[in-house]
Amino acid sequence: MPRYTVHVRGEWLAVPCLNCTNTIGWLGKEAVRRYMKNKPDNGGFASVEEVKFYIRRCKGLGLLDLDDTVEDALEDNEFVEVVIEGDIKSPDFIPSQPEGVHLYSKYREPEEYISLDGNSLTTKDLVNLGKGLYKIKLTPEAEAKVKQSREVIERIVKEQTVVYGITTGFGKFARTVIPNSKLRELQVNLVRSHSAGVGKPLSPERSRMLLALRINVLAKGYSGISLETLQQVIEAFNVSCLPYIPEKGTVGASGDLAPLSHLALGLIGEGKMWSPKSGWADAKYVLEAHGLRPITLKPKEGLALINGTQMITSLGCEAVERAAAIARQADIIAALTLEVLKGTTRAFDTDIHAVRPHRGQAEVAFRFRSLLDSDHHPSEIAESHRFCDRVQDAYTMRCCPQVHGVVNDTIAFVKDIMTTEINSATDNPMVFAERAETISGGNFHGEYPAKALDYLAIGVHELAAISERRIERLCNPSLSELPAFLVTEGGLNSGFMIAHCTAAALVSENKALCHPSSVDSLSTSAATEDHVSMGGWAARKALRVIEHVEQVLAIELLAACQGIEFLRPLRTTTPLEKVYDLVRSVVRPWMKDRFMAPDIEAAHRLLVEQKVWKVAKPYIEKYRREHIPESRPISPTAFSLGSLEVNTGVGHDHGQQDEL
């Protein structure tokens, strides 16, 4: 007998359908009737017949025809929503779908698997798991370790040994011994009481990352969870049953207790849960719709699910991957701006960077050469100002290797911290099967990822700070030799005037967001947890900073492409022309003022999807292959020539695009 789960004014109702020829309208009336039956005042209605409503799917929000039969319109156990006409949405209403639902209406359950062992996950793997590209399975070695650590817990319970979190209370209650008959209740109470987060729920991608990372940590075999329970967690991940996890509430020690408790709460069938099939619904209904049972927690298992730094670290992995993506593309955008402003490539000469050999600096200078070297990619724009009388460029162009370079090195440092953290055991107490004992420690403290993510925000912000200054140079006719604000008929048209203001506003906001959260600590749990990392805010604000950086660079990309329009028919280098063509495939040139926000969003989307990098990367890598090794001894002549250029301005050949 088919059954449907129907949402009516915040209530979830299971409605069986004895006759498949019943209509969608019948299903709505039956759901309303059951809703009224459960309300002392009948929900404010005199009868079912007076209720006017429409019905839509929870997945994709598609409206259903009330005259269609349920057999034709719905799958068995599908989730639908009855929307009563005249109802006003409460500000506390949880939507049936998260933001960006259009991304999920085409969701397909992945077929490929990633094998987790707790030791070899990468930040890129985790982000891809968040995107729903893979399912999870454990390696045989991980399964064996999980079983061995569970045996230690079972022995502790059997022998009634006093061990923190297993046979005692938590935090301030660590000295309170719990009788064996209440050990399961202890774990459920832990999850319920610690589910005290607030704020918007994490997106499905971020919830998936959090769940996947907790699975990876449990797979290490130091948590004491049973293999049966861990397999249930994996089954929930593999069908994207994702609990409602508020983004705020963690202080980053003892781990991310509040968000991980919300994660565990859904898995035990309480609270809200989301899946592509159901949208938001009561967790027990979502699990049931996917043929899953709520987890029944055994001793230590509640603690095993909620104790660790996975909220900070999973968001941190997204931050570091997005940071790396935008840093690569920032070099390409800056190179395009340099072309439009008729800058020189002399500042990117190999010898300059060989005598200050920071890795990031050398790589950025290399990318500029690969995009601008006219021996490989002739540039008519560069040729047009080859013998101009300018000696050197402003710092925002000349110093890109030094400024962008340290951002790259910062990202590499943070990525190393994150890679270690995602493959670390962060529980308390730790279960060491080989020693047949548990040890209390402090691996749950989030100071490592918190400090690293504060550093990441500070580093990556500089890409926006320097980009905003380049946008100013593009828009300012006294600096660019282009029309004011990159538009014809200035005055009638304002062009990029306010787009630059937006960039300035984002940069200013970033300055406040870059204040480190990890310099703060507030004592919690009656001074038991008397130093904390505040890593949750470090992770969330790092992501906000990176999004702002992406948006500022999107504006610079649009401005640089608009500048190209005023230099036509001259053409830039081949790779930069490819970047220009990519932008013009989604944003047309500005002939006169128009609604600009969609253009910025389109350019932002190109950067988020790394399409600018994908267009330019083949040219950069080809140049790399042709220039390895790309170094030669530095002669005294090179130094004297450099000094002569700076001090006297003689013989600059400003527009020259070759390697000297």
Phi, psi of 74, rounded to the nearest 5 degrees = -125, 155
* Contact by Cβ (8 Å): 172, 525: yes
The CA distance from 522 to 200, in Å, is: 23
- The token duo for 384 is 């047009």
Per DSSP, the residues of 510-557 read HHHHTS-STT----BTTTTB-----HHHHHHHHHHHHHHHHHHHHHHH
The CA distance from 488 to 498, in Å, is: 16
The H-or-E segment that residue 305 falls in is helix 301-306
The CA distance from 624 to 627, in Å, is: 5
Alpha carbon 292 to chain centroid distance? 28
The CA distance from 363 to 164, in Å, is: 50
Nearest to 313 by CA among 112, 542, 98, 89: 542
Which listed residue (35, 104, 134, 164) is catalytic?
164
- The token duo for 636 is 């005294």
The H-or-E segment that residue 470 falls in is helix 447-475
Whether 164 is catalytic: yes
The H-or-E segment that residue 196 falls in is none
Q: Identify the DSSP state of 635.
A: P
Between the alpha carbon of residue 94 and those of residues 55, 392, 549, the distances in Å are 17, 57, 30
Nearest to 121 by CA among 231, 218, 232: 218
- The token duo for 142 is 């991980």
* Contact by Cβ (8 Å): 77, 3: yes
The CA distance from 596 to 587, in Å, is: 10
* Contact by Cβ (8 Å): 272, 243: yes
Q: Per residue in 272-293, is it b (16+ CB within 10 Å) or e — as a string?
A: bbbbbbbbbbbbbbbbbbbebe
What is the number of other CB atoms lying within 10 angstroms of the CB of residue 327? Answer: 26
The CA distance from 152 to 172, in Å, is: 25
Q: For CA atoms 487, 656, 552, 473, give the dihedral sign.
A: negative
- The token duo for 542 is 């790092």
Catalytic residue numbers, as ranges = 164
